[in-house]
Amino acid sequence: MKKLNEYAILFLLICTSTVSFAQLNFTRYDSIVVLNQIGDTLDYAWTGGFNSPQFSEIDLNNDNIMDLFVFDRSINRISTFINLGIPNQASYVLAPQYVTQFPAGLHDWVLLRDYNCDGLMDVFTAGTGGVTVYKNITTSGPLQFVLARGGHATSDILYSNFQPDSPTPSMVNLYVTTIDIPVIDDIDGDGDLDIITFSILGSQVEYHKNLSQERYGDCDSLDFELANKCWGYFTEGATSNTIVLYDSCGFNINNPERIGGGNKHSGSSILSMDVDSNGTKDLILGDVSFKNMTLLINSDPTPNLTSSNITAYDTSFPSNNVNSIPVYLDLFPAGYYLDVTNDGVKDLVVAPNCFTGCENINGTWMYKNNRATNFPDFDFITKSFLQEDMIEVGLGSHPVFFDHNADGLMDLVIGNAGYSDSTSSAGITSSLFLYENIGTASTPAFQLIDSDYVLISTLNLDIAMNQPIFRIIPTFGDIDGDGDEDMILGGDNGKLHYFENIAGPGNVANFV
């Protein structure tokens, strides 16, 4: 009977604990001041950092100023920033309250474009086997989106007619791999949005023409046909980023349809812009496993879609002026063209498009356009656009509070899976970042003191491999009962590593 009562009490405690846990509520608070090592305030400290961000513009608060939407494909996370609109400078404020107003379940890639010319940015994103579109129907108040269909009455993804010359349409899903970033732009200058993407089997890009203007006299439909199976008449290497011009493309129009054979496309980002002011769209390619971007010059005098011809390329984009440097970014760079400096001219932001092995500390390169959107002149500004104003420790952060200097204020120690490091044989380094609390008990403020606390990155804690550990997770507690807190680290080698604090109570921690 006593044993039964003990079990009953234990069961009651578990249930009570579970109910209590379910009733916990948390409120986001991101106003705590954070400083970098030289004492500058981080404007976007609590954003969470970037790994593989994708940039688009949208008016979040209906003030007729384009704000910033960032989608990080590595964790399928949205970040939103309000643009204060200060002329000739980037002037954003972190605004997480808009994140939940976007469609749920976005993944892999997201680009915001106004496809129906109503002034509202719609959502183009990866779908199952293609492209899913959400129409922005916001009138006032919170953002609102509904699923938009194109080419198929019941499908959630876009379809395109792969046999436009045939009396019987061949409607096939407009395929974009989840790895790629496609072009969604008005390629032919008729006012509706077309799509350029690499074919599923091959090294050519397909041009899917939107027939909304031709068929309905407006731009509010998503009605595509495959107008060219190898737009630009160039070929990219199936497993490299080499370019071959003047490809004969014998399988092209008439009667286009998917063809077998060839190597499966390995992954590319494509950005369109008119770099030479000739009225036609040029392309900028980024490729998986490569650090550079390649500019492809479209020499056609008019935007004649089915005959556009790429006649030159530059593997050191952008190399247009002495104040610029070519993109050289780990890994798989993708470009985004939007005005981030509030001067009415689109600028260039480049970020990695990979899931692993990416540059995740200095991974958002920004080039200011000092001329015109259709005739850009890029000045390189920074390798860490927005990132430089964040708590950024690389991939997989694990924060914990610990009073390292025994002043009664909880400091912040952050472990990580790793950050990009070209000097490391592994290509990454894991360490502990120490942010000291320089505020008060009621008004904390943190400053970065050490980006390799206890010099963890220099210790070969993985004895079997004779190398440092990665994926560091710290915790602190008085293990030996001497009145000060010791440190235990978990890592990728599956072991726990104990560091004794020999400082004694009331002293700055000293771990051995």
pLDDT digits (tens, 9 = 90+) for 238-248: 778 899 998 87
Residue 254, pLDDT above cutoff 80: no
Pairing of strands 310-314, 293-298: antiparallel
Domains and CATH numbers, the chain: 43-389 (2.115.10), 398-499 (no CATH)
% the chain with pLDDT above 90: 80
In this prediction, residue 344 carries a pLDDT of 98
Mean pLDDT of the residues in the chain: 91
SS3 303: coil
Q: Tally Cβ neighbours within 10 Å of residue 100.
A: 11
- 55, 269, 108: which is closest to 180 by C-alpha? 269
Q: How far apart are CA 396 and CA 411, in angstroms?
A: 19
CB 401 within 8 A of CB 410: yes
pLDDT digits (tens, 9 = 90+) for 69-122: 999 999 999 999 999 999 999 999 999 999 999 999 999 999 999 999 999 999
pLDDT digits (tens, 9 = 90+) for 148-158: 999 999 999 99
pLDDT digits (tens, 9 = 90+) for 8-28: 434 434 444 444 455 678 888
Concatenate the DSSP letters of all residues of 387-412 into one string: GGGS----BS-EEEEE-TT-SSS-EE
How far, rounded to the nearest angstrom, does the alpha carbon of residue 76 sit from its chain's CA centroid?
8
Residue 263, pLDDT above cutoff 90: no
In this prediction, residue 259 carries a pLDDT of 38
In this prediction, residue 3 carries a pLDDT of 38
Specify the pTM. 0.92
SS3 19: helix
In this prediction, residue 300 carries a pLDDT of 82
Band of residue 304 on the pLDDT scale cut at 50, 70, 90: low
Enumerate the β-bridge partners of residue 82: 93
In this prediction, residue 240 carries a pLDDT of 83
Residue 490, pLDDT above cutoff 90: yes
Residue 465, pLDDT above cutoff 60: yes
In this prediction, residue 253 carries a pLDDT of 52
Least confident of 69-83, 253-267, 424-438, 442-456: 253-267
Residue 255, pLDDT above cutoff 50: no
In this prediction, residue 357 carries a pLDDT of 76
pLDDT digits (tens, 9 = 90+) for 330-378: 889 999 999 999 999 999 999 999 987 789 999 999 999 999 999 999 9
Residue 384, pLDDT above cutoff 90: yes
Q: How far apart are CA 407 and CA 3, in angstroms?
A: 47
In this prediction, residue 168 carries a pLDDT of 92
pLDDT digits (tens, 9 = 90+) for 185-226: 999 999 999 999 999 876 899 999 999 999 999 999 999 999
What are the strands of the beta sheet with 486-490, ordered from one edge?
473-477, 486-490, 496-499
Q: What is the mean pLDDT of residues 386-403?
A: 97
- 304, 305, 286, 288: which is closest to 296 by C-alpha? 286
Residue 6, pLDDT above cutoff 90: no
